[in-house]
Structure formats: structure tokens, C-alpha cells
Structure 1
Amino acid sequence: MQPTSTDNRDKVWSILCHASLVFFPLLLPLLVYLVKDKSPFVEHHAKEAFMFHVGVLVALFTSKVLMLVLIGFLLFPLVALSAFILTVWAVIQTWNGLWYSYPVTGRWAQKI
């Protein structure tokens, strides 16, 4: 079990990184990672959110291409709903101060 974070500023920055999938995917986690004087907690969540956003955008683009063969019409809403659910779960876990890792990103984010 990883230690929890109790600093509310760290939690807010981390939550913004995860929730940015709705408005500024890739941009906010990358900016937070590169610019913010960050704690290890914020750095972890910025990397996790960035890698998840990359995966979601690739999956959505692939779904759009697959709409040419009709399977994309089923795949696109499935990817979007899954991304929404995983993002909400990440925000909840981060609010509780946990070092959340998305189940679909593997350990790529820790290797950066």
C-alpha cells in the first residue's frame, strides 16, 4: 500500500490532471508535469493522466476509422464511456489521497 497524500493543493493539481480529459486532454497533464513545482504525488498523477489520455485519444481515433466498417459505431461509445468511468474513479481515488494507476496504462507512466 502506497502512502497517501494529505496536502490539498497536491490533490487539486492531481485531480485537474485526471479531469482534464474532458476539456484539455494531454495539455494540462503535460503542462503540470513540465512547469509546476511538483511533489512526487502530483508528478505521478500527471504522468498517469497523460499516458491515459494518449491511450484514449488513440482508441477514439481508431474507433472513428473503424466506422468505415461499422464496428466503430459500437466501439466509439464503448471507449468514451470506459474513459469517463475510469476518469471518475481516478478522481475519487486521488481525492482520497491514493497513488492511483489506471489499469489500462500498465507501468509505462512510471518508466518516463
Structure 2
Amino acid sequence: MYTTEQKLLSAIAHLGTFVGIPILAPIIILIVSKDLFVKQQAKEALCFQITLFLGSAIGALLTFILIGIPILLVVVIAGLILPIVAVVKIVEGECYSYPFTGRFVSKYF
């Protein structure tokens, strides 16, 4: 079972996008926290936010040939729904891994 502090710091890392600091929040949590669970969740959130940023950039570039519009829609929907799912899972006491970046984070970080 995870403590309230662990859950709170993990939730802040995942919900940084809703307060306007999507990449900065997980980096701050990574630097401040010494807990392995919190660090893992911050890495998950950071990698996911970087993936969203890259997806947005690619989608924006491809809007000129109209394929970028569906890409941007997927990025926006994923950016709104998946962090909320992550926080709900963490509050329930589960370790959450994003569907797109989870294997990458666990393998390389």
C-alpha cells in the first residue's frame, strides 16, 4: 500500500499538464523525491508528456496534407484522458504505466 505522500506526488507528476507545466512537473518530482515508486511514476509521466509533445509537433507539421488533423485529435484525447486514468489508478493503489510509453520507460529508465 502506498502512502498519501507517494500518491500525491505521483498525481502531481501526472496532472502537470492540467496546470500548465506538463514536462516541468515530472522533472521537479524526479529531482525532489527519493521514493522509487514516485520516481517511476514521474518517469512515466515525463516520457508520456514528451511523447505528446512530439505527436503534437508531427501532427501540426502534417496538417498541411490533412493527415495531421486526426493525429492531433488522438494526441488531444490521449492527453486529456490518460493522465486522469493514471491518477485514478494511483489513488486506488496500483502502479500505472501508460499504454504508449510504458515498455520504453521500464526498459530504458
- Give the TM-score normalised by the residue count of structure 2: 0.90
Asked if 1:50 is matched to 2:50, the reply is: no
Closer/same/farther in 2, CA of residues 93 and 60 from structure 1, 3 Å limit: same
User: Which structure carries more helix by proportion?
Assistant: 2
The equivalent residue for 1:75 is 71
Cα deviation, residue 75, structure 1: 1.9
Q: Which moved more, 1:73-82 or 1:95-104?
A: 73-82
Matched residues, number: 107
The equivalent residue for 2:28 is 31
- Counterparts of 1:1-112 in structure 2, within 5 Å, are 4-5=1-2, 7-22=3-18, 23-34=20-31, 36-110=32-106, 111-112=108-109
Closer/same/farther in 2, CA of residues 65 and 47 from structure 1, 3 Å limit: same
Q: Which amino acid aligns with 2:70?
A: L
Cα deviation, residue 107, structure 1: 2.1
Return the alpha-carbon distance in structure 2 between the equivalents of residues 89 and 101 of structure 1.
Answer: 10
Q: Which moved more, 1:71-80 or 1:16-25?
A: 71-80
Any unmatched runs of 5+ in structure 1?
none
4+ residue runs over 4 A deviation: none
Return the alpha-carbon distance in structure 2 between the equivalents of residues 11 and 90 of structure 1.
Answer: 11
1:64-105 CA distance string (max 9 Å, x none): 001111121222122111221111110100111211111110
| Identity, % of aligned positions | 29
Q: Which amino acid aligns with 2:89?
A: Q
